[in-house]
Amino acid sequence: MTCEELRPGYLLYAMGTVGEPESSELRVHLDRGCAACTEGLRQAHALVYSMGAVLAGPEAPRELRGRVLGISGVEARRTQAPGPLLPRARSGRLWQGWALAAAAIVLAVIPASLWHRQLSQARASQAAVAELLAEERRASSSLRAESRGAVPIFALEVERGGTAGEALKQLAIPAGVRAVVLALPADLVRQASAVELRNATGETIWTASSLPDGDADSTGLKVDGRLLTPGRYAVVLLAGGRTLARLPFAVIPR
Amino acid sequence: MSSAAIIHATIQVSGRRMFPLILAVLAMEDGDVLARLQRREPQALAELYDRYGGMVYRLALRIVRDTGIAEDLVQETFLRAWNRAAAFDSQRGAAGPWLLAIARNRSLDYLRAQSRRVANTLELNETEHPARFVDFPAEALNFDLARQVKHALEQLGPDERAAIELAYFEGLSQSEIAERMAQPLGTVKTWMRRAMARMRESMGSVNR
């Protein structure tokens, strides 16, 4: 197609609403290095941006800022009690380093009508978690529409950190949890052939052998929330029959 | 790179809350905050939110029309930015347009999931790829241009404007717009073409 024929499609392409075959045709054209269309499309992106930038409407609620900053732990650090959840002497050992293990767990409760409203408290700072949450929200939309009740989900960020066997944090999980997303270090998951969730007695209560791949910092795995009654647990990553890493955490009564 | 932000304020008239007034435009440096975001400095996230949080919220709210969902989507937007900042060219990328693109995509994803509509258009994620925001036209970050775009949209005929808004706020393709508006596809294409031409005209050099 010629530049003239493609020009009307710039804006729709920039909006992501061009169907096929127009989309492919424009892409092929751009790949040939057409300067005029590249510039036209660049300007179309600017137009699309402007349409969103000038919208009138209400201000964002003040508390939303805190939720957003919770992503990075800013608010959490400001408001958390200073003391560690484990005795200082133990937590001191936790950071002796070579071992993988220990868990930093972050939880989020998502009420039905206002999805992960409390995600700021969770500090779920991994893309995998976000995407799984979005997926869960989509999957649960009909449920929400029907019940308007709780559709809780937890984002549970498990990091390496201390000595095997020591839970870095203990967390209470509110009632009615249906799903827990385990956010695990992606570099470990990439090396693993299976991931197991084990209880305090070492019994395997959940296994994942088909592990997602990706270039995010963490990999999210969703487990049935009812499995996590109060107690001690460990996420165990296995590679070829050997234990690659053991990431313990504790769930305490509400 | 130099960027700009539109500063909004709310006024009270006889006790009624009015729409935000656009008061001023301040040129600000996004490059520094993006570089710090890449180093995962929490304060950078706070600065980014202070600059663009309101804009992101209004866009999400306009699309999903539910304050609670909009808040969640704002959070998702900044979470995505936080996690993907490393891929962004902090010196040449434009943070505001990138955040708005993420917010729009997340919001449209939500709408699609609600309506169980299958995306048959360009993969939306592509429209938020960091590479798209490198060397963003500086004039687009200028308030005058944004105001011209707004004015141009207001001047469109009702059908043309509806077609553009269905594409932008609902992510519909031209075929879907034709179906929604119960009009032949050719008619919708004509409206869109005319609308875009008028918007381009109002924007001076844009898209010429």
Using DSSP bridges, classify how beta strands B12-13 and B16-17 pair: parallel, antiparallel or unpaired.
Answer: antiparallel
| Interval A201-221: pLDDT, tens | 889 998 887 776 655 566 777
Count of residues in chain A: 254
Rounded average pLDDT over A154-162: 52
Compute CA distances A215 → A98, A126, B84, whole Å: 24, 11, 11
Cβ–Cβ below 8 Å for B59 and A52: yes
| Interval A82-136: pLDDT, tens | 222 222 222 222 222 222 222 233 333 333 323 333 333 333 334 445 554 555 4
* pLDDT < 70: residue spans in chain B: 1-29, 90, 116-146, 202-208
| CB-CB neighbors (< 8 A) of B203 in chain A | 47
Tokens of B156: 């469109």
B7 in A contact zone (CB under 8 Å): no
Whole-number pLDDT of residue B15? 32
Rounded average pLDDT over A67-76: 64
Q: Tell me which residues of chain B, numbers 126 to 155, contact chain A at a CB-CB cutoff of 8 Å.
A: 126-127, 132-133, 135-137, 139-140, 145-147, 149-150, 153
B124 in A contact zone (CB under 8 Å): yes
| CB-CB neighbors (< 8 A) of A159 in chain B | none
Whole-number pLDDT of residue B47? 87
Q: Average per-residue pLDDT in chain A?
A: 63
Q: Are A105 and A158 in contact (CB under 8 A)?
A: yes
Tell how many helices (H) and how many strands (E) occur in chain B.
8, 4
| CB-CB neighbors (< 8 A) of B100 in chain A | 49, 52-53
Kindly identify which residue of chain A lies nearest to residue B192, measuring between CA atoms: A8
Cβ–Cβ below 8 Å for A51 and B149: yes
| CB-CB neighbors (< 8 A) of A74 in chain B | 42-43, 45-46
**Rg of the Cα trace of chain A?**
23
Whether A186 has a pLDDT exceeding 70, the answer reads yes
Cβ–Cβ below 8 Å for B206 and A46: yes
Kindly identify which residue of chain A lies nearest to residue B76, measuring between CA atoms: A130
| Interval A25-42: pLDDT, tens | 888 888 888 888 888 887
Neighbouring C-beta atoms of residue B158, cutoff 10 Å: 8
* Mutation for B interface: A31, A50, A133, most B CBs within 10 A: A50
| CB-CB neighbors (< 8 A) of B113 in chain A | 137-138, 141
Kindly identify which residue of chain B lies nearest to residue A63, measuring between CA atoms: B71
Whole-number pLDDT of residue A80? 34
Compute CA distances A219 → A105, A124, A199, B79, B116, whole Å: 14, 12, 21, 15, 26
Neighbouring C-beta atoms of residue A59, cutoff 10 Å: 16
What does pTM read for this prediction?
A: 0.55
Kindly identify which residue of chain A lies nearest to residue B195, measuring between CA atoms: A8
Read off the DSSP letter of residue A202.
S
| CB-CB neighbors (< 8 A) of A115 in chain B | 68-69, 72
